[in-house]
Amino acid sequence: MTDVTAEPPPAAEPVLLTTDDDGVRTLTLNRPFRKNAINAELWGALNDALTDAGKDPDVRALVVTGAGGAFCSGADVAAGDIARAKSHPLPRMRNLTDVAQLLHELPKPSIAKVDGVAVGAGWNLALGCDFVVATPGARFSQIFARRGLSLDLGGSWLLPKLVGLQQAKRLVLLADMVSAEEARDLNLVTWIVSAEEIDTFVADLGKRLAAGPPIALAQSKLLLNEGANSTMREALANEARAQVINFATEDAPEAAVAFTEKRDARFTGKWGVPPR
């Protein structure tokens, strides 16, 4: 059960904060008094926010983080919440699975900015992002077994692909807490950055991603996500189709012009095929 660390915020304060900065949208889980454990309201807010980010052409990159010195302590399994739930658990589980699917299929690069704990569904929420940036004090656990549960939010698919089957079983069946350094050694953290520098580091990373060619990045992300389950023949066919999509934008010609003019390319993702 999630520890209470502070007084609950005023009822009017949103459970998910959204900010935009030059094409980078940041979603901040905002239940610090529960270490940002995700309740039904927050699952719904994440679903809506990820759907909107995927469709908004002004969003070029996404950052997911948590308020109050924690990333996310997982799904809120407080006994009172369970006792009050009157619906069948399967529809409630779909709230989780929809969020995991939306994040995985998001056609924009995504970054998890992790400080403090990221456990259970919270860790798998971070792993669902394309990059994980953590502070040295970040701590991670597939805590499900300690709660009498099996893993969820895509962990059974993500972990074996990232660390191999044997290490995935160790993390899940023992439910140990691991440090940021060990998580990086297991390829579960991309960068470790000091708490004083992580905001600047993630902001710069987000701007680099937002400045990239949006259609091409979306195609590459999809190809990489699907590549592990494809044959070489299927992967090559998918790559060929993706390049045709890229050739139909203004970005590839812009990159060529920028190269000859010795300047940075200005990518827009706009359709570049002239009307007939």
pTM value?
0.90
157 and 171 part of one domain? yes
Our CA dihedral for 237, 238, 244, 247, rounded to 10 degrees, sits at -130
151 and 193 part of one domain? yes
219 and 84 part of one domain? no
**pLDDT above 70: percentage of residues in the chain:** 92
For tokens 């990086």, the residue is 184
pLDDT at 83: 43
Least confident interval from 45-49, 102-106, 125-129, 250-254: 250-254
158 and 181 part of one domain? yes
172 and 77 part of one domain? yes
pLDDT at 8: 57
82: pLDDT strictly greater than 50? no
119 and 198 part of one domain? yes
56 and 193 part of one domain? yes
What's the rounded Cα separation, in Å, for the pair 237 and 229? 14
CATH code for position 92: 3.90.226.10
Least confident interval from 85-89, 127-131, 146-150, 244-248: 85-89
- Number of structural domains (the chain) is 2
124 and 230 part of one domain? no
Average pLDDT, the chain: 91
Domain hosting 168: range is 16-210
